[in-house]
């Protein structure tokens, strides 16, 4: 019985990042019907290998990101596009530069805040800037 308790503590202790994916894989492969059919049925295995080797996901990602980035570019470079300026003027438009400057300032601050809300103290290198707050303080800051 101690072995089960020790295993439970290990699985849901600080090492959960390793134990949960392993347990999920074991469940899907040995317990679920998909794992059993994949291991035993040649036609099903070939179908899944074909699905994984095709690049439909890559094409879909490319199509969605192209549309999204073109929409952002059109929105932020609107005055340059309307004035029919050169490609370099469109690429270095004031709207895009403003967005990049905003992201350059906001990203480090927001990452520090997200790290603190997640429950760890704010550290910069080896120096602790802000100690880990109480759960209520982190919840209030997250809202």
Residues 6 and 45 in one domain: yes
Residues 45 and 63 in one domain: no
Residues 1 and 35 in one domain: yes
Residue span of the structural domain in which 39 resides = 1-54
Sign of the dihedral through C-alpha 8, 9, 13, 15: negative
Length of the chain (residues): 143
The reply to whether the predicted model has a pTM over 0.85 is no
| Owner of token pair 């019907």 | 33
Give kind and range of the element (H or E) at residue 129. strand 127-130
pLDDT tops 90 at residue 6: no
Rounded to a whole number, what is the distance in angstroms from the first to the last CA of the chain?
A: 42
The mean of the pLDDT values for the chain is 79
- Please write the tens of the pLDDT for every residue from 83-134: 888 888 878 888 888 888 999 999 988 888 888 788 778 777 888 877 777 7
What span, in angstroms and rounded, lies between the C-alpha atoms of 117 and 4? Answer: 33
CA 45 to chain centre: 29
Give me the pLDDT at residue 15, please: 64
Residue 36 covered by a domain: yes
Number of domains making up the chain: 3
Residues 138 and 118 in one domain: yes
């Amino acid at each position: 019985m101690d072995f089960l308790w020790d295993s439970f503590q290990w699985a849901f202790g600080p090492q959960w990042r390793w134990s949960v994916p392993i347990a999920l894989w074991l469940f899907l492969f040995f317990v679920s019907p998909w794992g059993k059919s994949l291991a035993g049925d040649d036609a099903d295995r070939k179908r899944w290998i074909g699905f994984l080797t095709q690049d439909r996901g890559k094409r879909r990602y490319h199509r969605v990101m192209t549309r999204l980035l073109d929409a952002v570019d059109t929105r932020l470079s609107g005055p340059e596009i309307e004035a029919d300026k050169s490609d370099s003027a469109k690429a270095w438009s004031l709207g895009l530069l403003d967005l990049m400057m905003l992201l350059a300032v906001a990203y480090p601050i927001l990452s520090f805040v997200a790290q603190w809300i997640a429950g760890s103290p704010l550290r910069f290198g080896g120096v602790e800037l802000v100690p880990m707050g109480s759960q209520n303080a982190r919840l209030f800051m997250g809202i």
